[in-house]
Amino acid sequence: MSGNIRLLSDTLAAAKNENRAALIAYLPAGFPTVDVGIEAVKAAFDGGADVVEVGLPHSDPVLDGPVIQTADDIALRGGVRIADVMRTVREAHAATGKPVLVMTYWNPIDRYGVERFTAELAEAGGAGCILPDLPVEEAGLWREHAEKHGLATVFVVAPSSKDARLARITAAGSGFVYAASLMGVTGTRESVGEQAQDLVRRTRATTDLPVCVGLGVSNPAQAAEVAAFADGVIVGSAFVKRMLDASGDGAAVAAVRELAGELARGVRGGS
């Protein structure tokens, strides 16, 4: 296991050794600008996130709800490019020494070139990639290059996934498994409930990889609820909404740090 993916695995293991779930934050690159986006990622770590997912803004999202779509639109109108995503990963990782992944749909990687993308991500210190729309059956080329460069391949499982399908997905993945707690797009929810707990139980039956839950968590109480049964709690829309609601760039970065602190206390069992 190379340094990049090992850092991710060690970080998740360290949280488990502390008898808590890891806190995983999601922030889009280039939002509201590339520079501010980088500061926001650092602030998430500073506030208590263990891992950060950097989103590659996409014009035609299938998983992202309205909050993240709004941020992606701002980033794309600002001219964000894959080079800016790599810079975000590089600078955030260099400043913190912590694991940074990229979350992206498959099309931008396919157009950019798989070898080029994986080589640049590894060189930037990235720990791996979350690929929500890449079917495991079509992931051979990606996995070959990701393994060559020591990158984790994180697949997404959903409540609709049958047990045999879960086993197939988890066997092909590395780093952790992203369990989408609900059917539908990203966004904060009133409850993140029983469906997620059942999905974690069924996924764990197929793999030793950590199972981290995303889609819906927005506050410390929900973080604590999910942390009671998952290895990691993934929060995205709540961070982006705080940034959108902030009065300026400095306030947006401070809001990320503050929410990360609140959620970090939540995953440690206190709200």
Report residue 55: phi and psi, to 5°. Answer: -80, 135
For this structure, is 110 an active site residue?
Answer: no
Annotated catalytic residue: which of 53, 91, 120, 231? 53
For this structure, is 53 an active site residue?
Answer: yes
Give the residue carrying structure tokens 């990203």. Answer: 186
Annotated catalytic residue: which of 39, 64, 84, 231? 64
Residue among 91, 154, 148 at smallest CA distance from 122: 148
Residues labelled catalytic: 53, 64
